[in-house]
């Protein structure tokens, strides 16, 4: 089936972090199915190679580069490898991130703060600082930063994670204002509970999930395709007048009265 012209990414190159499995892999597959060449990264080399093989088996032009986004030198090497392989990066998806042990903010150690902020927020600044200027010079680019539903809600047990993701949403707004005159669009997406390994502990808690589903108008958890669809929209001409937004993908949880 041909891709609608509004979603056609033929000739584009997409670089995605946190894309060797789960939500990031689904994002990469959606962009690749729309015609983009994709460069995926993840922390584990074996997972990266397996994801690359799976994408290629779908007929997608893909390559994988293992990268610890918490290491600035590795982030630079990742971007350089993408450009060396395909010449440029037209679409950037910063999806890599980590959680932390739940607990009150006052119990957060300095080491936890530094690690979560570095990986979830600072790494996105590092990578966007590399990728956006060449996009701006060409007069075209799309950047998608993965935030979280926790970026727009108060959080009793994952306050540090929520703070880092709120920073991601603000980074998208700042970069959208800074680079919009050069036709570079920057948006954040904020998934709710999505069926991934990352959300496993929550999904395994039947009591918690019953309460969450009751608070969600669509009465289900999200699937990775739900996030992939939004990513395709924002990366393509279909989203060409959307920038600086934090788009919430949560089945309506945030707007529900709990009934």
Residues labelled catalytic = 161
β-sheet with 141-146: strand ranges across: 62-66, 37-42, 13-16, 91-94, 141-146, 184-191, 246-249
Cβ atoms < 10 Å from Cβ of 149: 20
For residues 227 and 183, what is the distance between their CA atoms, to the nearest angstrom?
24
Largest CA distance in the chain: 54
Query: What contacts 10, CB < 8 A, 6 or more positions away?
Result: 3, 34, 35, 36
The residue to which tokens 């950047």 are assigned: 143
C-alpha distances (whole Å) from 23 to each of 72, 91, 93, 133, 156 are 23, 17, 11, 27, 25
CA of residue 102 relative to chain centroid, distance: 22
Task: Identify the bridge partners of residue 40 per DSSP, sorted by sequence position.
Answer: 16, 64
Using an 8 Å Cβ cutoff, are 168 and 231 in contact? no
Upper half-sphere CA count for residue 211 (Cβ side, 13 Å): 5
For residues 152 and 162, what is the distance between their CA atoms, to the nearest angstrom?
8
């Amino acid at each position: 089936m041909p891709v609608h012209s509004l979603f056609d990414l033929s000739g584009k190159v997409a670089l995605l972090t946190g894309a060797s499995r789960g939500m990031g892999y689904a994002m990469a597959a959606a962009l690749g199915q729309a015609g983009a060449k994709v460069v995926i990264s993840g922390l584990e080399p074996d997972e990266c190679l397996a994801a690359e093989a799976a994408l290629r088996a779908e007929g997608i032009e893909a390559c994988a580069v293992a990268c610890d986004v918490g290491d600035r030198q590795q982030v630079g090497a990742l971007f350089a490898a993408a450009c060396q392989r395909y010449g440029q990066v037209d679409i950037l998806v910063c999806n890599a991130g980590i959680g932390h042990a739940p607990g009150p903010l006052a119990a957060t150690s300095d080491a936890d703060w530094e690690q979560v902020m570095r990986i979830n927020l600072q790494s996105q600044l590092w990578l966007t600082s590399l990728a956006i200027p060449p996009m701006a010079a060409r007069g075209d680019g799309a950047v998608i930063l993965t935030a979280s539903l926790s970026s727009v809600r108060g959080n009793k047990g994952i306050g540090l994670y929520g703070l880092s993701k709120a920073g991601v949403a603000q980074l998208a707004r700042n970069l959208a204002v800074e680079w919009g005159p050069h036709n570079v669009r920057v948006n954040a997406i904020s998934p709710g509970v999505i069926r991934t390994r990352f959300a496993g502990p929550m999904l395994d808690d039947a009591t918690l999930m019953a309460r969450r589903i009751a608070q969600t108008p669509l009465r289900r958890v999200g699937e990775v395709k739900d996030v992939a669809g939004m990513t395709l929209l924002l990366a393509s001409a279909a989203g060409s007048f959307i920038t600086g937004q934090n788009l919430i993908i949560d089945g309506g949880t945030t707007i529900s009265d709990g009934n």
